[in-house]
Every structure is written in structure tokens, then in C-alpha cells.
């Protein structure tokens, strides 16, 4: 289930990238735009740039850092940032544009949190790849050029992929097999690789890669959407153990990753492991067990006519285990989830009045 | 859901009743690390496991009428139980689990390493987990040993369980993986000999058919039901050997490890020999 903020099904809350030609426009008026012209209002001693700030998780993170007081948050996102306080700065441009570079050029930046990733499986591979990979390599390049001392990259535990012969708990060294049967998350894995090679290339920068498990909450990602279905289809005879994490805990993990000196790859694990069926029982969902030989053709038919937001390969997430070992994050990142298992599961229902 | 729930609660009550006070008390006495939902990290759940425990007790007491020797030799804490494997279907594993649960003075849960194709099968995929069994990867085994669990390993693997009747009580080649893990985690090894399972399904191997289907063996029995589904009610005798603590480098060459593995294998072979000498009849 692609994380962290797949636009949901139906009336998508995430504004579509309507500014498709933003790229050229930006490039054109770049000539007469002076670097350092950005008008920033924020205070706070550490300047943190967040890409993809307008997503739900990004907004939560921005609020959390803003509340902290130590951080001056600057967002980069081509979507508007709704309801922001005045001293959170927002630069509404595409991360591939030169305007985005100005953010780094116009003054010292103390950290980059990169979470500007497109996930919608309905977008074309080319568009997604271009945005995710070209975008990421550009911002990483800026970080090196303008000497940003800290880079935090949000990946996902899904990069390991659900597989029948998976270890119960995969460590950070496990191979990233997620794309083997699921090409749509290939660029997520590529992004992860990009960040880890950046880790080795730019040794002077503290690079942190976070791989959280399924994030639950008001976020509109695949696992949360799945658990919100009124009638939840499951695979008959399969009930894998799953790991879930509350969106607030993910935000805390990112904040911990900002600490100077912290570097490396970390699996971010929530409060525990439960079978999928226990999660659904806790939510009181009605289930529809489908024999797995029928599930694939059925879902692929639904997908073709646009009745579902779940691509076929995601079935493996409710069939096989894909769990990770979070002990490195516990010891080095000093991260421990605060929400209980129940709270984490319940987080998907508390919303919708927003 | 409601129909299923009704059936499930009926089954749960029936299992509870059949298990009785002693059985329930033994299940409760198992030391496991469960979270607020009643599951441990590998998916074990005491309530769900009661069915399996009841089945194991039936096999242990009534069907195979197991005679158990030396179970007190199993040390507390982490331990690797290494046994011979036979009988087409893994009833030997169930019975060893039953012995540790219902015969030992302090009941313990045995976790066996199941084949890696099991997670592909519907129902088996999660039921094995609920009953405490785990997918057989070295990392899983190491993790459990480090949290002081008892792990059952059949180093003969598929070659052992599917061996034909003509090869009964001939130990097949042992894998070396368990020794590597024992050395890495400092785990004592308890060799176990199971006498009786090797006659429960006198089958021969239809090799061409096995090759055609791509399975390790295709066992056929010369009498109904022809396929080894229901085992013969042979009498089981289980011998627990003295724990062995091996020392050495887990990354040693295979030859080095093979010497240590040989010690375990020999100990099982000699217990098998004694067991076969002592018994008067296959069925009683």
C-alpha cells in the first residue's frame, strides 16, 4: 500500500497538479528573478525545508515543528498550503523548478525533509517517475551545493515488499523486493536507493532515510483508505500479521531524525503486530472474504473500469507478511511510538468532518 | 460474519470443555509475549492455539499412546530440539509439541520451522502462525532463540518425511543450518529420537509422478486409502537425549560444522537403536 499520502478514491482531497506547465513558466521568468528575493516571515533558529508540505502528513509535520518554536518551516509544494499560520512560509512551486532552488540559495537551510512524492497509482509511470526521481535528485543536489547539513527522506517499509518467504521482521539490510510484483512502487524504491547513495556520496551531510510501516490516521494512503471501506474485502484463508503506526508517531520520528548527528536508514515501527482480522474486528468492519484465485481478476476488472483505487499488486499486502524490525530506530533514533495499538487503529475513523 | 461468529464461539466452548481444567491451566502457564490484542510478534494466540493443543493431546494420549523418556533433560531457556523426521505427514512434530505441553512438568510451547511454501496456502498460512509455528527462515529462528524459546528442527527436512517404508529408521542427510544457529546464539541442542512414526504410513515413492509434479516425493500406500492421509495407529516412543552445547565459530567451513552435526546425528541414531531394541511390537 503506497505511502504516505496517496490521494484517496472518489472526490480526491489532494488537489491535482493542475499547473502542468508550471515548469516552463518558472523557467521563463527565472531570468529576471533574483535569488534571495523570497520573502520569508518565519522565525526560529533552524530553517527546515519541507517538500510536499501540503499533503496531510506534511501539514501535520509543519504544525508540529511550528509548535516546537525552534524551527522555521519553509514548505515547497505545487499545491497551496491551506490554513497555515503566518510564520510558516510556503513557496508554491514545483520542486523541479528553479524557484525551488532559490529557497536553498536565498539563505542558510539547516535541514531538508523530503516527502514530496506522488503516489497516485492512476498517474502515468512517466509523470510519476519524472516528478519523484527527477524532483528528488534535484533537491538532493541543492542540498549538497548549498551545504545543508541534514537531509531526512521519507521512504516506506513497503519497499521490502510482501512475500511468502519474508522473515517475520526485516532489518534495514534486507533487499528491497517491493517492485518485483508491483511496478507502481518502483520509483519509491528508486527514491530510497537515490537517498542511500546520496548518504554515501555526501558524507558531510547527515542523511536519514525513514521507512515507516503502514501509516494510519487522517492521511489518505492506501492502508487507511482500505480500512475505511464500509465492506472490507479480505482474502479467504489469509490473515497476515501487520504493523501499523499512527501518523503522529511518524511525525515524531521525523522530528527525532532532525537531531544533529543522527544518520542512516531506519525502519519506523508502531506499537506492535496484529493480524489483519483483529484490526478489522477492532474497527467493527464487515468483511467479505474472497478466494484468492478470484480476487486478482475481480480486482483487475474493477481497476480497469475505475471503480477502485487499489491496484492489483496491493493484494499481496493482505496476503503475505511485510513486517520490519524497528530496533535500530529505538536505539539510535531514540524513537518509541506513543500511541497504543488501539489508538493507532482507531485513528482512521476519527476523521471525515475535516 | 455472525454465522461464522456463532460457529466459532461454539467451537471455542467445546474446545475449552474438552481441554478440561488441567489442559487450560497448562495453556495459561505458557510464557509468551502477547500484546493487548492477545497476539505475540509471530502471530501466536493462546485461544486459537487451544484447538491445536487439543488435537495434539488426542494424538499424544489416545491415538499414538506415546511413551515419553527423558523429557526432564530439556533445559529451561533457549533450546533447539533436533529430531528424526518421517511418516509422510508431520505428526512427529505435533506429538513432540504435545509432549512439551502435556508431559513436561513446566509446560512449554515448541515452535517448529515450517516449510517456506506454507504461507502460500490458504488457511494453513495463518493457522500455523496462530498455533505458534513459524516460517522456516534462519533469521526467524535466531530471533526466537534470542528470546529464549524452544525451537523444533527436523534437519532431514522433506527428504526425511517423505522417505519410503524401505528406508525406515535410516537417517537422511542432516542440514547444517541448525548447528550454525546454535553456535551463533549459544543454544544447547537436545537430540530427540521418535520411534513409531516411521511405520505410521508405509508408503513407497512413485518417483516418475513426483518428478512430473515437481514435488519432492509422491508417496503411495499399498492399501486404502492409498494416500497417506490417516496414519496407522502405531505406538510412539519418544527419547529425549542429553543436551549438547557445542562451541565454535558459526562461520566455520561446512566440514567443521559437519563434524558437530555428526555428533547430534549419532546420538539420535543410537537412541533410535535402543528404542527399536526395547520395543516388542509396532502397535503396542
Q: How many independent structural domains does chain A possess?
A: 1
CB B145 within 8 A of CB B151: yes
Contact assignment for B119 to A321 by CB distance below 8 Å: yes
Edge-to-edge order in the sheet of strand A71-76: A89-91, A71-76, A46-51, A111-114, A150-154, A206-212, A264-268
> What range defines the domain where residue A84 resides?
22-31+42-217+244-272+323-339
- How many whole angstroms separate alpha carbon A193 and alpha carbon A172? 12
Average pLDDT estimate for A111-140: 88
Contacts of A292 in chain B (CB under 8 A): 122
Query: Domain for residue A156, yes or no?
Result: yes
Grid coordinates belonging to A81 = 498550503
Specify whether the CB–CB gap between B122 and A292 falls below 8 A.
Answer: yes
Give the CATH number, domain containing residue A63: 3.40.50.720
Query: What is the number of alpha carbons within 13 Å of residue B108 lying toward its C-beta?
Result: 23
In a domain, A49, yes or no: yes
> Mean pLDDT over all residues of chain B?
91
**Is A309 among the domain residues?**
no
Among the ranges given (A21-30, A32-41, A119-128, B71-80), the one the predictor scored with the smallest mean pLDDT: A21-30
CB A275 to CB B39 under 8 A?
yes
Residue among A169, A237, A286 whose CB faces B122 most closely: A237
As a CATH number, domain B39-278 is 3.40.1130.10
pLDDT, one tens digit per residue, over A235-278 is: 999 999 999 999 999 999 999 999 999 999 999 999 999 999 99
C-alpha to C-alpha distances, B105 to B20, B33, B93, B100, nearest whole angstrom: 17, 21, 19, 9
Q: Do B137 and A165 touch (CB under 8 A)?
A: yes
Contacts of B42 in chain A (CB under 8 A): 168, 241
pLDDT at A4: 44
Per the model's pLDDT, the better-predicted residue between A6 and A88 turns out to be A88
Could you report the predicted ipTM of this complex, rounded to two decimals?
0.88
How many residues does this entry show for chain A?
Answer: 354
* CA distance, residue B33 to nearest chain A CA (Å): 11
Peptide bond connecting A4 to the previous residue in cis, omega within 30 degrees of 0: yes
On whether residue A6 sits in a domain, the answer given is no
Nearest C-alpha neighbor of B86 from the set B188, B178, B166, B206: B166
CB contact under 8 Å between B121 and A239, yes or no, is: no
As a whole number, mean pLDDT of residues B92-113 equals 93
B282 Cβ under 8 Å from any chain A Cβ: no
| A interface residues, B as partner, C-beta within 8 Å | 164-169, 235-241, 271-275, 278, 282, 286-287, 291-292, 319-321, 340-342
Q: Tell me whether residues B116 and A164 touch, CB distance under 8 A.
A: yes
Amino acid at each position: 500500500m503506497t505511502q504516505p499520502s496517496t490521494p484517496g478514491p472518489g472526490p480526491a482531497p489532494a488537489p491535482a497538479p493542475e499547473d502542468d506547465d508550471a515548469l516552463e513558466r518558472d523557467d521563463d521568468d527565472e531570468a529576471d528573478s533574483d535569488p534571495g528575493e523570497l520573502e520569508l516571515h518565519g522565525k526560529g533558529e533552524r530553517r527546515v525545508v519541507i517538500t510536499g508540505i501540503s499533503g496531510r502528513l506534511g501539514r501535520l509535520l509543519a504544525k508540529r515543528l511550528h509548535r516546537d518554536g525552534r524551527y522555521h518551516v519553509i514548505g515547497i509544494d505545487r499545491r497551496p498550503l491551506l490554513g497555515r499560520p503566518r510564520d510558516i512560509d510556503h513557496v508554491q512551486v514545483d520542486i523541479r523548478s528553479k524557484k525551488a532552488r532559490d529557497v536553498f540559495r536565498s539563505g542558510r537551510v539547516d535541514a531538508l525533509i523530503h516527502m514530496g512524492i506522488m503516489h497516485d497509482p492512476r498517474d502515468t509511470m512517466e509523470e510519476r517517475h519524472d516528478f519523484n526521481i527527477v524532483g528528488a535528485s534535484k533537491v538532493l543536489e541543492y542540498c549538497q551545493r548549498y551545504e545543508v547539513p541534514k537531509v531526512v527522506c521519507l521512504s516506506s517499509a513497503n519497499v521490502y515488499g510482501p512475500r511468502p518467504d519474508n522473515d517475520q521482521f526485516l532489518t534495514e539490510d534486507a533487499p528491497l523486493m517491493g517492485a518485483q510484483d508491483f511496478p507502481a512502487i518502483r520509483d519509491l524504491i528508486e527514491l530510497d536507493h537515490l537517498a542511500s547513495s546520496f548518504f554515501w556520496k555526501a558524507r558531510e551531510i547527515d542523511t536519514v532515510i525513514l521507512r515507516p510501516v503502514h501509516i494510519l490516521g487522517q492521511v489518505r494512503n492506501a492502508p487507511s483508505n482500505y480500512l475505511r471501506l464500509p465492506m472490507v474485502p479480505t482474502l479467504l484463508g489469509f490473515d497476515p500479521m501487520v504493523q501499523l503506526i499512527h501518523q503522529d508517531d511518524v511525525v515524531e520520528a521525523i522530528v527525532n531524525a532532525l537531531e544533529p548527528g543522527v544518520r542512516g536508514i531506519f525502519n519506523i515501527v508502531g506499537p506492535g503486530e496484529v493480524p489483519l482480522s483483529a484490526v478489522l474486528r477492532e474497527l467493527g468492519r464487515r468483511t467479505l472474504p474472497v478466494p484468492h484465485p478470484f480476487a486478482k481478476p475481480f480486482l483487475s476488472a474493477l481497476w480497469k473500469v475505475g471503480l477502485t483505487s487499489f491496484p492489483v499488486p496491493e493484494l499481496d499486502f493482505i496476503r503475505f507478511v511485510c513486517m520490519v524490525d524497528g530496533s535500530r530506530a529505538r536505539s539510535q533514533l531514540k524513537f518509541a511510538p506513543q500511541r497504543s495499538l488501539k489508538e493507532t487503529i482507531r485513528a482512521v475513523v476519527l476523521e471525515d468532518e475535516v | 460474519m455472525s454465522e461464522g461468529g456463532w460457529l466459532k464461539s461454539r467451537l471455542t466452548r467445546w474446545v475449552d470443555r474438552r481441554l478440561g481444567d488441567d489442559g487450560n491451566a497448562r495453556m495459561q502457564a505458557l510464557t509468551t509475549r502477547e500484546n493487548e490484542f492477545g497476539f505475540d510478534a509471530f502471530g501466536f494466540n493462546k485461544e486459537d492455539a487451544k484447538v491445536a493443543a487439543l488435537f495434539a493431546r488426542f494424538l499424544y494420549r489416545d491415538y499414538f499412546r506415546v511413551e515419553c523418556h527423558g523429557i526432564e533433560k530439556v533445559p529451561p531457556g533457549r533450546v533447539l530440539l533436533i529430531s528424526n523426521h518421517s511418516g509422510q505427514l508431520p505428526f512427529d512434530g505435533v506429538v513432540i509439541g504435545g509432549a512439551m505441553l502435556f508431559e513436561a512438568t513446566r509446560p512449554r510451547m515448541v515452535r517448529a520451522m515450517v516449510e517456506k511454501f506454507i504461507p502460500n496456502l490458504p488457511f494453513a498460512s495463518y493457522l500455523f502462525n496462530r498455533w505458534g509455528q513459524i516460517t522456516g527462515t534462519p533469521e526467524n529462528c535466531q530471533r526466537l532463540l534470542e528470546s529464549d524459546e524452544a525451537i523444533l528442527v527436523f534437519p532431514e527436512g522433506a527428504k526425511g518425511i517423505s522417505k519410503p517404508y524401505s528406508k525406515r529408521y535410516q537417517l537422511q542427510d542432516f542440514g547444517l543450518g541448525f548447528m550454525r544457529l546454535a553456535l551463533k546464539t549459544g543454544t544447547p541442542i537436545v537430540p530427540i529420537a521418535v520411534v513409531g512414526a516411521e511405520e505410521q504410513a508405509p508408503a513407497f515413492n512413485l518417483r516418475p509422478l513426483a518428478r512430473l509434479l515437481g514435488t519432492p516425493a509422491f508417496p503411495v500406500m499399498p492399501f486404502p486409502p492409498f494416500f497417506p492421509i490417516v496414519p496407522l495407529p502405531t505406538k510412539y516412543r519418544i527419547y529425549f537425549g542429553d543436551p549438547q552445547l557445542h562451541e565454535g565459530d558459526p562461520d566455520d567451513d561446512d566440514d567443521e560444522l559437519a563434524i558437530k552435526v555428526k555428533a547430534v546425528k549419532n546420538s539420535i541414531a543410537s537412541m533410535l537403536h535402543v528404542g527399536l531394541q526395547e520395543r516388542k511390537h509396532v502397535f503396542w
